[in-house]
């Protein structure tokens, strides 16, 4: 058989081909289209634009609004993910005690990450409403004046981080918890016999065993928080005064609101490069398909 | 005694976590049963219900504002996209799990990395493509891109489930004269049913929640999907009627909460597709 014939009857081709062709058409092609767009000045959705080379990228790096969005993205991702890791690991350790009824509570706690980000935004705008929101009322019960969350730049950023943490801590919690459940119990029994304190056990035994899982969770969360767009749309719409405009929201505004498609594509390509670096790190530190931790 | 105090504290914490977890949802549900004036007047809202107000609010949300038809649109789009994605992904996942070929790992990782792509980077090109094909503002214009959004995650969830089935089963069936396709269809599919369910649920929830692409592709009010419809009704840009906004939130979330009951068991596998095993 010639090699072409061999290829044509190969089960690999018939099993894998359709999915690959589909992904090339509807994921890779748009990605290249986007790259092309980023070198053009296209201001309406007619399709063709004028070629401007690196023009969009040059104006991008000179644009203070871009740097504002980049800085916001940086703080948004790093603060949210750190908090999610700490709280998620704490929750996992707590649920690992195996209290009765904890499965039900676990089921409740994972709900936030399944629900529509747009709705999460509305729900929290109600909870935080300065005049009648439940949280503002609770704060007032302590004799503190509740802040007007969405009209101050600092407060709205804090609110955005808090809601992101509320929605996605369960992700860290649930995968760290799953890992904890598979850890060999004899190690823990041995160090208890040796008289290790709870903190020592955590610091020197549990934490090192969880390292790979925590790194994995951190990278996954960082990538998703970086891409996050719907939540910002639903909660703060990037404001006030662009205080919560991250790169992804900035790209959206330029593309959808201002119809500056070339500029928007350039922003998303900068994001893609940052993400590619993130993905490479993921593949490097977390061995995806080969036996992990074995 | 010390042990007793610790147990009490632990259970109190567990109870508090449960209450805190449910509170935002309960609050939204409660707001959706109030009249506009009551939201401002009752702080915190009272646990009293007026049946007429509830009917009136939900009647407005579901029918006057069209959430019922948005739900229908979303069900159609979710169903079609997930079905097509499963048809494409199942053989692919099977090939990755079973067949030896050059660049198996490289290809599989490449597919997984598509999961990390920011939707904003391909929303505009996809919209322009759909427009070029004359299917913008239609179900198909959403279904085609959604299939490609779901494929990477579905493939990876299924690879995990296929990997768990010992390959001796395939070998036995192959020796008995079954074709590769026959092995997949008749022998393996029944064995990976939980995988198919997990993959469909995750794909369905993802598409149900998707909003950015729908914003570009859908123009007509009557074709809006649930997330898009909800977003237009409760956008952060303008003042809103909170009792209505809460009702919109409830109707968007209830189907997901129903789904979540089924998803719990395989949550970890769905969320970490391709990693923790």
Residue bearing the bigger pLDDT, A170 or B3: A170
DSSP helix/strand/coil, B63: helix
pLDDT digits (tens, 9 = 90+) for A20-41: 999 999 999 999 999 988 898 8
Q: Who among A20, A27, A278 is closest to B122 (CB)?
A: A27
Position B36 pLDDT exceeds 60: yes
Q: What is the CATH number for A205?
A: 1.10.3720.10
Q: Is residue A115 part of a domain?
A: yes
In this prediction, residue A283 carries a pLDDT of 67
Residues 169-198 in A contacting B (C-alpha not used; CB under 8 Å): 171, 174-175, 178-179
pLDDT digits (tens, 9 = 90+) for B37-77: 888 887 788 788 888 888 888 888 888 888 899 999 999 99
What residue in B sits closest to A15 (Cα-Cα)?
B91
Instruction: Say yes or no: A14 contacts chain B, CB-CB below 8 A.
Output: yes
Mind spelling out the 3-state secondary structure of chain A?
A: CCHHHHHHHCHHHHHHHHHHHHHHHHHHHHHHHHHHHCCEECCCCCCCCEECCCHHHHHHHCCHHHHHHHHHHHHHHHHHHHHHHHHHHHHHHHHCCCCCCHHHHHHHHCHHHHCCHHHHHHHHHHHCCCCCCHHHHHHHHCCCCCCCCCCCHHHHHHHHHHHHHHHHHHHHHHHHHHHHHHCCHHHHHHHHHCCCCHHHHHHHHHHHHHHHHHHHHHHHHHHHHHHCCHHHHHHCCCCCCCCCCCHHHHHHHHHHHCCCHHHHHHHHHHHHHHHHHHHHHHHHHCCCCCCCCC
The dihedral of CA B182, B186, B192, B196: what is its sign?
positive
In this prediction, residue A282 carries a pLDDT of 66
Q: Who among B43, B91, B231 is closest to A233 (CB)?
A: B231
Q: Is residue A157 part of a domain?
A: yes
Q: How many CB atoms lie within 10 A of CB A9?
A: 9
A238 and B81 in contact (C-beta within 8 Å)?
Answer: no
pLDDT digits (tens, 9 = 90+) for B116-161: 888 888 888 898 889 888 898 899 999 999 999 999 999 989 998 8
- Domains defined along chain B, listed by start: 2-62 (no CATH), 65-271 (1.10.3720.10)
Q: How many CB atoms lie within 10 A of CB B3?
A: 7
Residues 202-221 in A contacting B (C-alpha not used; CB under 8 Å): 213, 216, 220
B174 and B182 in contact (C-beta within 8 Å)?
Answer: no
Rounded Cα distance between A127 and A124, Å, is 5
Q: Is residue A22 part of a domain?
A: no
Domain assignment of residue A216, given as a range? 79-244
Task: Tell me which chain A residues have a C-beta less than 8 angstroms from the C-beta of B271.
Answer: 113, 171, 174-175
Instruction: Say yes or no: A279 contacts chain B, CB-CB below 8 A.
Output: yes
Task: Tell me which chain B residues have a C-beta less than 8 angstroms from the C-beta of A258.
Answer: none
Q: Give the largest CA-CA distance in chain A.
A: 84
Q: Is residue A11 part of a domain?
A: no
Which of A32-36, A92-96, B78-82, B270-274 shows the lowest per-residue confidence on average (mean pLDDT)?
Answer: B270-274
Q: Is residue A199 part of a domain?
A: yes
Instruction: Say yes or no: A31 contacts chain B, CB-CB below 8 A.
Output: yes
Rounded Cα distance between A269 and A249, Å, is 14
Token pair for A276: 């590619």
Contacts of A248 (CB under 8 A, 6+ apart): A73, A226, A227, A228, A229, A232, A268, A271, B118, B120
Q: How many CB atoms lie within 10 A of CB A17?
A: 15
Q: How many CB atoms lie within 10 A of CB A218?
A: 20
What residue in B sits closest to A115 (Cα-Cα)?
B253
The answer to whether ipTM exceeds 0.90 is no
Q: Is residue A131 part of a domain?
A: yes
Q: Is residue A136 part of a domain?
A: yes
Packing angle, helices A134-141 and A117-127, rounded to 10: 40
pLDDT tens sequence for chain A (294 residues):
456 666 556 777 888 889 999 999 999 999 999 998 889 887 665 656 788 888 889 989 989 999 999 999 999 999 999 999 999 999 999 998 888 888 889 888 988 988 999 999 989 998 998 888 899 999 988 988 888 888 888 999 999 999 999 999 999 999 899 888 888 888 878 887 888 788 888 888 888 888 888 988 888 899 899 999 999 998 988 878 888 999 999 999 988 888 888 889 999 999 999 888 877 776 676 554 443 443
What residue in B sits closest to A11 (Cα-Cα)?
B180
In this prediction, residue B152 carries a pLDDT of 92
Chain A, chain B: beta-carbon pairs less than 8 Å apart: 269
Contacts of A259 (CB under 8 A, 6+ apart): A43, A44, A45
How many structural domains compose chain A? 1
In this prediction, residue A289 carries a pLDDT of 45
User: Tokens 């999907």, residue?
Assistant: B225
Position B81 pLDDT exceeds 90: yes
Mean pLDDT for the stretch of residues B193-221: 90
In this prediction, residue A290 carries a pLDDT of 42
Q: Is residue A141 part of a domain?
A: yes
Contacts of B267 (CB under 8 A, 6+ apart): A110, A174
């Amino acid at each position: 058989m010639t090699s072409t014939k061999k290829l044509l009857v190969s089960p690999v081709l018939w099993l894998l081909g359709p999915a690959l062709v589909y992904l090339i058409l509807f994921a890779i092609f748009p990605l290249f289209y986007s790259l092309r767009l980023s070198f053009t000045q296209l201001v309406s959705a007619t399709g063709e634009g004028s070629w401007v080379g690196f023009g969009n990228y040059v104006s991008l790096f000179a644009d203070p609004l871009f740097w504002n969005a980049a800085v916001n993205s940086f703080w948004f991702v790093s603060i949210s993910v750190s908090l999610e890791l700490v709280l998620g690991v704490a929750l996992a350790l707590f649920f690992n005690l195996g209290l009765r009824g904890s499965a039900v509570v676990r089921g409740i706690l994972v709900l936030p990450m399944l629900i529509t980000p747009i709705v999460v935004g509305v729900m929290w705008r109600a909870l935080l409403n300065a005049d009648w929101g439940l949280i503002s009322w609770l704060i007032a019960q302590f004799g503190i004046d509740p802040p007007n969350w969405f009209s101050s730049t600092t407060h709205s950023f804090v609110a955005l981080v808090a809601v992101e943490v509320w929605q996605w801590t369960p992700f860290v919690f649930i995968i760290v918890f799953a890992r904890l459940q598979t850890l060999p119990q004899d190690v823990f029994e041995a160090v208890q016999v040796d008289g290790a304190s709870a903190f020592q056990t955590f610091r020197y035994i549990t934490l090192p065993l969880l390292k790979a899982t925590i790194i994995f969770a951190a990278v996954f969360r960082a990538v998703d928080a970086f891409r996050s767009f719907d939540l910002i749309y639903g909660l703060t719409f990037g404001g006030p005064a662009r205080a919560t405009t991250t790169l992804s929201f900035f790209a959206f505004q330029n593309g959808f609101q201002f119809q500056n498609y070339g500029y928007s594509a350039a922003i998303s390509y900068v994001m893609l490069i940052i993400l590619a670096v993130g993905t490479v790190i993921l593949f490097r530190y977390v061995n995806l398909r080969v036996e992990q931790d074995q | 005694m010390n042990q007793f105090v610790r147990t009490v504290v632990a259970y109190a914490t567990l109870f508090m976590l449960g209450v805190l977890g449910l509170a935002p949802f309960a609050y939204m549900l409660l707001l959706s049963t109030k009249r506009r004036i009551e939201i401002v007047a009752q702080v915190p809202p009272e646990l009293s219900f007026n049946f007429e107000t509830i009917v009136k609010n939900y009647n407005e949300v579901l029918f006057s504002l069209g959430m019922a038809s948005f739900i229908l649109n979303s069900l159609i789009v979710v169903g079609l996209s997930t079905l097509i994605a499963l048809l494409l992904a199942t053989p692919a996942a099977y090939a990755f799990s079973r067949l030896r070929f050059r660049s198996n790992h490289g290809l599989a990782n490449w597919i997984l990395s598509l999961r990390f792509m920011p939707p904003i980077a391909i929303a505009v090109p996809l919209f322009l493509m759909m427009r070029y094909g004359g299917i913008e503002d239609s179900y198909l214009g959403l279904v085609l891109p959604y299939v490609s959004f779901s494929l990477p995650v579905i493939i990876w969830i299924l690879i995990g489930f296929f990997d768990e089935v010992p390959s001796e089963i395939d070998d036995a069936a192959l020796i008995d004269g079954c074709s590769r396709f026959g092995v997949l269809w008749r022998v393996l599919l029944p064995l990976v049913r939980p995988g198919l369910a997990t993959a469909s649920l995750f794909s369905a929830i993802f598409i149900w929640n998707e909003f950015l692409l729908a914003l570009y592709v859908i123009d007509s009010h009557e074709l809006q999907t649930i997330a898009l419809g909800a977003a237009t009704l409760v956008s952060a840009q303008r003042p809103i009627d909170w009792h209505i906004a809460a009702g919109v939130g409830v109707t968007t979330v209830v189907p997901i909460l129903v789904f979540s009951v089924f998803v719990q068991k395989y949550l970890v596998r769905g969320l970490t597709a391709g990693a923790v095993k």
